[in-house]
């Protein structure tokens, strides 16, 4: 299977924002920012693995993450450098944002 990992400049900003505009995905991104490269399965956020897989695909196709396969496990990491270069401040703003007030 070929993993779509688009060049960041080819991704519309709105797609990046849309990818971040979901609670589960934001938790994933935060976990990645804090913990570095992680296995897909390490994201336990109360959704099925089908849903988790879906969210990881959205993140990947929005240019936010890269995925590396190792055996049956897949490791995901944030494309932080590229993101910071193209959208300086964005990631930091999102990551340091206060957690849900509810």
Q: CA triplet 11, 31, 61: central angle to 5 degrees?
A: 20
Considering only residues 15 through 74, tell me which ones interact with its own copies, judged by CB under 8 A: 15, 17-18, 20-23, 26
Choices 32-40, 41-49, 71-79, 88-96 (CB under 8 A): range interacting with its own copies: 88-96
9 binds, among DNA, its own copies, none (CB under 5 to 8 A by kind): its own copies
Residue 53 within binding range of DNA, rule CB under 7 A: yes
Could you tell me the smallest distance in angstroms from the CB atom of residue 85 to DNA? Answer: 25
The pair of structure tokens assigned to 30 is: 């935060």
Considering only residues 14 through 43, tell me which ones interact with DNA, judged by CB under 7 A: 18, 21-24, 39-41
Q: How far apart are CA 59 and CA 46, in angstroms?
A: 18
Cα dihedral 45→46→48→52 (10° resolution): -20
């Amino acid at each position: 299977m070929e993993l779509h990992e688009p060049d960041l400049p080819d991704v519309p900003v709105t797609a990046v924002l849309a990818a971040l505009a979901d609670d589960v995905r934001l938790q994933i991104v935060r976990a990645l920012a804090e913990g570095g490269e992680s296995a897909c399965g390490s994201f336990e956020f109360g959704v099925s693995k089908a849903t988790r897989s879906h969210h990881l695909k959205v993140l990947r196709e929005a240019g936010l993450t890269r995925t590396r396969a190792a055996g049956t496990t897949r490791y995901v990491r944030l494309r932080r450098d590229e993101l910071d270069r193209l959208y300086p401040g964005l990631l930091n703003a999102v990551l340091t944002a206060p957690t849900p007030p509810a």
